Structure 1
Amino acid sequence: MGDEEFLHRLADCSLPKDEFNHRGHVRAAYLVLNETEGFGAALARMRRLITAYAESIGKAGLYHETITVASMALINQRIAESGESLSWEAFAAANPDLFEKEILATRYETATLKSDLARQVFLLPG
């Protein structure tokens, strides 16, 4: 599935559940960051996409603010460090560690990420 269709199907909540796994979240974040001017606007768009999609599959409480913000910031950093506009496939190939579900575990305590507060507001690592 192409990038445009992927984001369209995520936005209209017709994306198959198996397509919005961890890799799908990273892909969506990458695409949103590249299509949206400004990190804050991209983050707000991603938050809306995830929240609406989660609600559509009956998992309204699934959204996690700290994981989303931290992941988006890390992906945004990698985009900036690449110094060039990469296709999704090239970006994914250049950043395989982003697909490790536990990538934030090196920055956050497990208890912090599992907390209700971390789900509701962005918590700094440490």
Structure 2
Amino acid sequence: MTDEEFLASFNACTLPPEQFSHAGHIRLAWINLQRHDFDQAVDGTCRGIRAYATHLGAATKFHTTITVALMHLLRAAGAGDRNVSWYQFVSANQELMHNARAVLGRHYSSQRLDTPEARERFVAPDLQPLPV
């Protein structure tokens, strides 16, 4: 599926839920980071995931801090580089693709990340700053 097809299907809420696994979340963020400045990419990604989750009846699953923190990490890993394809990005960033919780754990304690406040709005890390 091309980026355009993925995005159109996601935005129309017709993307099958099994295609919106962790990799799907990362792909959505990557597409937005490719096309927009950081703040717009974060806003679009958060709004999109929230709308998709609501459509699926899972609105409470959306976690603002995890989404925004991962976007910081993706940007630092080169997600905004328009000379890098999705497949090149995935190949170069296996840890973010397969062990994102561990990467987040370098920045956030579970006590901080597992709070209702962190779910509702972005909270700063308590272990190590996120890359800028």
Same fold (TM over 0.5): yes
Cα shift readout 1:9-60 (whole Å, capped 9, x = no counterpart): 1111111101111111111101111012x11111111011101100110011
RMSD between superposed Cα atoms in Å: 1.5
Cα shift readout 1:57-85 (whole Å, capped 9, x = no counterpart): 001122111101100011011117x9662
Q: CA deviation at 1:101?
A: 3.7
Aligned equivalents of 1:95, 1:55: Cα separation in 2: 29
Q: Provide runs of 4+ in structure 1 moved above 4 Å.
A: none
Structure 1 length normalisation: TM-score?
0.92
Q: Residue 92 of structure 1 is aligned with which of 79, 90, 93?
A: 90
Mind listing any 5+ residue stretches in structure 2 that lack a counterpart? Answer: 127-132
Q: Equivalent pairs: percent with the same residue?
A: 38
Mind listing any 5+ residue stretches in structure 1 that lack a counterpart? Answer: none
Q: Give yes or no for the alignment of 1:64 onto 2:63.
A: yes
Equivalent residue, structure 1, for 2:111: 111
Q: CA deviation at 1:121?
A: 1.4
Aligned equivalents of 1:24, 1:85: Cα separation in 2: 20
The structure, 1 or 2, with the larger RCO (C-alpha pairs under 8 Å, 6+ apart) is 1
Structure 2 length normalisation: TM-score?
0.88
Give the helix-richer structure, 1 or 2.
Answer: 1
